[in-house]
Amino acid sequence: MSLDKPRELEYSLAINEALHQMMNENRSILLMGQGVKSPWYVGNTCNGLVEKFGEKRVIDTPVSENAMTGMAIGASIAGYPSIVVHPRMDFMLYAFDPIINQAANWFYMSGGKVSVPVVFWGIINRGGEQAAQHSQALHGLFAHIPGLKVVMPSTPYDAKGLMISAVLDPNPVVFIDERLLYSNKGVVPTELYSVPIGKAAVRKKGKDITIISVSYSAFLVEKVTPKLIENGIDAEVIDLRSIKPLDTNTILKSVKKTGRVIIIDVGWKSFGISAEISARIAESGINLKSPIKRLALPDTPAPASRTLEAAYYLNEKKIYESICKIFKKGSS
Amino acid sequence: MKISYKKKELLNLYKQMVLIRRTEESFVEPILNGRIKCPVHLYSGEEAVAVGFSAYLKKEDVFFGNHRSHGHYIVKGGNLEAMVAEIYCKEDGCAGGRGGSMHIIDKSVGMLGAAPIVAGTISLTLGAALGFKYEKKKNVAVAFFGDGGTGEGVLFESINFAALRKLPIIFSCENNYYSTHLPIRETRPNYPVYKIGRAFGIKSFQVDGNDILKTTAVCEKAISTCRKGEGPVFIEFKTYRLRGHVGPSDNIQGTQTDIRPIQEIEKWKKKDPIKRLERYMLKNRICEQKELLNISKKVESQVFAAHQKAQISNFPKGEEVEYYVFR
Ligand SMILES: Cc1ncc(C[n+]2csc(CCOP(=O)(O)OP(=O)(O)O)c2C)c(N)n1
Ligand SMILES: [Mg+2]
């Protein structure tokens, strides 16, 4: 590595580095979940951890999501801040009680005396005709719950920085990463750093429209913006990074400037984060030049068949065309 | 092997096992060339478990399965063509291409559901059994799950309620000694799985799941117990998947997936349930090699035809993606 060429790392390895550095910093931290000692489920995010920190701290668990998640919460309360990974978010649903009834409410219920420094790490893993129970993006569900923070990095830099923030945060944080981003490379500092929870990133300045993206949609939008420029549309691009707390200030500031907004979510449309963001914009009373536009998954379970998947999921073309349509421009 | 079966019965068991094996192995090539894309969990090696139920099963009995349920569906009288087409995620599939291999669901034959959330269908099976009991029907509901599934609390909640209300349900645990990448010694204390049932005071059996005569016998016992209103029953079938967890990879140690010692696989290959029945029938002069070959050939062409049909079937239309959310 030379000084003038910053180090690049894959998204998944950025998470791996965060885990290594945090577990090295604080020997109370525990990691548990299915596949933490194998690339089977979690790609290379957990490489080398069990070798370095041992099976007492890196615990590959039986298929027992409810109890294992509760265990992570209890350990966190008892002084061992824990990270519990669910190799697919869909499996987390077995753990709704410990996450929502227990962890999210604990600090409040104890009158502010006992907080729960736990990380619920859930991986979105979809496509490949995996169908309804192996594809879900449930960030909107968790964001609905008071007492839970929810983060969704789209870049390797944020993946590392947000994992570190999630571990350091004294509250329960739902860290949601995306398998489709795992091999993406980007600049990642070697040292320990954090990305603040609750702060969006403006990826590109622009004057015509605000594009609000998150996780995989931020990755897609990055590819679409050059084409928009060619078509005479100068977009401002926001990557939310945190769903909760939501960085309303950054959103409103941008929308006030551009007067147009499209929200591109990776989850379902109804009652999801695109609805919440729309409401905040509407409540702000900002005058818009065109109605708020939302692009998200249809209110349908994830299908299996590749043709249905193509209709179901977002892609660059759908994003590009929707934005061109707002400006009544052709998109051929 | 005390019970004696007629030749016709034995050949029928043989045929079903061969049908499952040929069907499963027929997916390897289309998976490798990308015509089949959805995750496919092969049942090769475990045939004697599902087929063990076949002799005493009635059409009105019901099955619930998991991610590895092709064999369950075939035994329940499922339509082979509809299943193969579903695995190609085509319109003619039993779920119209919406479910794929992990959701082999076909109410018309009593395959009430299969779903890959581990242990997720056990409590659903309880509901079907509750219905049978309520209507005083002499039917049976069977829940299939793996050794990995014994990690989920819902199994224990379900056994408790089933025992409390004497429901006609068979908890059918296919112990193949692995839960994805973990061998059973890393997921369970070293204690027999079938004793889970004993803790709730229900009839519980452990059986060599690769011996079709034994599985048939234990299933007969379990089914008749339930039909008499003396259920539930827990059965642990000791078996082994000849393939790896998912797809055609064998998960051999030293290869990319790196899980199972090759010696272990070789050991279990010797216990192949199909070969065992073959040997039994030939040794006891129940039938001739030629008859077995004929069965295999017939099955082979049936499977081939199912693939041909599935391959020319259409994919569902993209614009129909929002169908079937509600009735
Ligand atoms: C709730 C849940 N957690 C984790 C998984 C991932 N997973 C799929 S199959 C499997 C192991 C299943 O092992 P077992 O029940 O023994 O069945 P087998 O595959 O051996 O037939 C796991 C952990 C899942 N599908 N659902
Ligand atoms: Mg198993």
Q: What CATH number corresponds to the domain at position B71?
A: 3.40.50.970
Contact in structure between A174 and A217 (CB atoms under 8 Å): no
B115 and A67 in contact by Cβ < 8 A?
Answer: no
Q: Residue B1: pLDDT above 50? A: no
Number of domains in chain B: 1
Instruction: Provide ipTM, 2 decimals.
Output: 0.95
**Position B326 in a domain:** no
Contact in structure between B73 and B114 (CB atoms under 8 Å): yes
* Of the listed ranges A39-48, B163-172, B248-257, the one predicted with least confidence: B248-257
Q: Which residues' Cβ are closer than 6 Å to ligand 1?
A: A 34, 63, 65, 91, 94; B 67-68, 116-118, 145-149, 174, 176, 178-180, 245
Closest CA to A134 of A195, A177, A88: A88
B188 and A62 in contact by Cβ < 8 A?
Answer: yes
C-alpha distances in Å from residue A319, one per residue of A222, A299, B87: 11, 18, 31
Angle among Cα B75, B126, B17 to the nearest 5 degrees reads 15
Question: Mean pLDDT score of chain B, rounded to an integer?
Answer: 96
pLDDT at A320: 98
Q: Residue A120 CA to chain centroid, in angstroms?
A: 12
Length reported for chain B: 327
B117, B123, B154, B245: best to mutate for the A interface, most A CBs within 10 A = B117
How far, in Å, from the CA of B154 to the mean position of ligand 1? 14
How far, in Å, from the CA of B69 to the mean position of ligand 2? 13
Min CA distance, B178 vs chain A (Å)? 11
Higher pLDDT, A3 or A171: A171
Alpha-carbon torsion (B290, B296, B297, B302), positive or negative: positive
- pLDDT digits 0-9 by tens, A75-95: 999 999 999 999 999 999 999
| A224/A229 Cα distance (integer angstroms) | 9
Nearest residue on chain B to A88, judged by CA atoms? B117
Nearest residue on chain A to B149, judged by CA atoms? A63
How far, in Å, from the CA of B68 to the mean position of ligand 1? 9
* Of the listed ranges A40-49, A163-172, A243-252, the one predicted with least confidence: A40-49
**Pairing outcome for strands B203-208 and B233-238:** parallel
C-alpha distances in Å from residue B29, one per residue of A26, B36, B193: 49, 9, 35
B-chain residues within 8 Å CB-CB of A58?
none
Higher pLDDT, B250 or B305: B305
Closest ligand 1 atom, residue A91 Cα:
1
A-chain residues within 8 Å CB-CB of B119?
63
Query: Which residues of B lie closer than 8 Å to A, measured between beta carbons?
Result: 37-39, 89-90, 95, 97-100, 102-103, 115-120, 148-149, 151-153, 179-182, 186-188, 257, 315-322, 325
Q: What is the mean pLDDT of residues A85-106?
A: 98
Tell me the three-class secondary structure of chain B, residue by residue: CCCCCCHHHHHHHHHHHHHHHHHHHHCHHHHHCCCCCCCCCCCCCCHHHHHHCHHHCCCCCEEEECCCCHHHHHHCCCCHHHHHHHHCCCCCCCCCCCCHHHCCCEHHHCEEEECCCCCCCHHHHHHHHHHHHHCCCCCCEEEEEECHHHHCHHHHHHHHHHHHHCCCEEEEEEECCEECCEEHHHCCCCCCCCHHHHCCCCEEEEEECCCHHHHHHHHHHHHHHHHCCCCCEEEEEECCCCCCCCCCCCCECCCCCCCECHHHHHHHHCCCHHHHHHHHHHHCCCCCHHHHHHHHHHHHHHHHHHHHHHHHCCCCCHHHCCCCCCC
- pLDDT digits 0-9 by tens, B188-219: 999 999 999 999 999 999 999 999 999 999 99
Contact in structure between A154 and A219 (CB atoms under 8 Å): yes
Q: Residue B3: pLDDT above 70? A: no
Q: Residue B173: pLDDT above 80? A: yes
Q: Residue A3: pLDDT above 90? A: no
A-chain residues within 8 Å CB-CB of B181?
35, 38, 40-41
The DSSP secondary-structure symbol of A98 reads I
Min CA distance, B2 vs chain A (Å)? 38
* pTM assigned to the model: 0.97
- pLDDT digits 0-9 by tens, A215-228: 999 999 999 999 99
**Position B215 in a domain:** yes
pLDDT at A38: 84
- Name B71's Cβ contacts closer than 8 Å, sequence gap at least 6: B20, B24, B43, B46, B47, B49, B50, B51
Contact in structure between B119 and B149 (CB atoms under 8 Å): yes
Q: Residue A1: pLDDT above 80? A: no
Q: Residue B274 has which token pair? A: 């199909």
**Position B325 in a domain:** no
Residue A223 φ/ψ, nearest 5 degrees: -75, -25
Q: In chain A, what are the domains?
A: 8-187 (3.40.50.970), 201-326 (3.40.50.920)
Q: To 10 degrees, what angle do helices B80-87 and B289-312 make?
A: 50
A214 CB-side CA count, 13 A: 33
**Position B265 in a domain:** yes
Q: Which domain holds residue B311?
A: 7-320
- Name A294's Cβ contacts closer than 8 Å, sequence gap at least 6: A262, A263, A264, A265, A269, A274, A275, A278
**Which residue has its alpha carbon closest to ligand 1 atom 17?**
B146
Closest CA to A14 of A44, A57, A40: A44
Q: Residue B244 has which token pair? A: 């790896």
pLDDT > 90 fraction of chain B, expressed in percent and rounded: 94
How far, in Å, from the CA of B238 to the mean position of ligand 2? 10
pLDDT at B257: 67
Please identify which residue in the block is written with the tokens 């931020």. A218
**Position B1 in a domain:** no
pLDDT > 90 fraction of chain A, expressed in percent and rounded: 95
pLDDT at B254: 72
**Which sequence positions of A are flagged as catalytic?**
65, 134
- Name A134's Cβ contacts closer than 8 Å, sequence gap at least 6: A88, A90, A125, A126, A302, B39, B102, B116
**Pairing outcome for strands A261-268 and A209-213:** parallel
Min CA distance, A262 vs chain B (Å)? 23
Q: Residue A2: pLDDT above 70? A: no
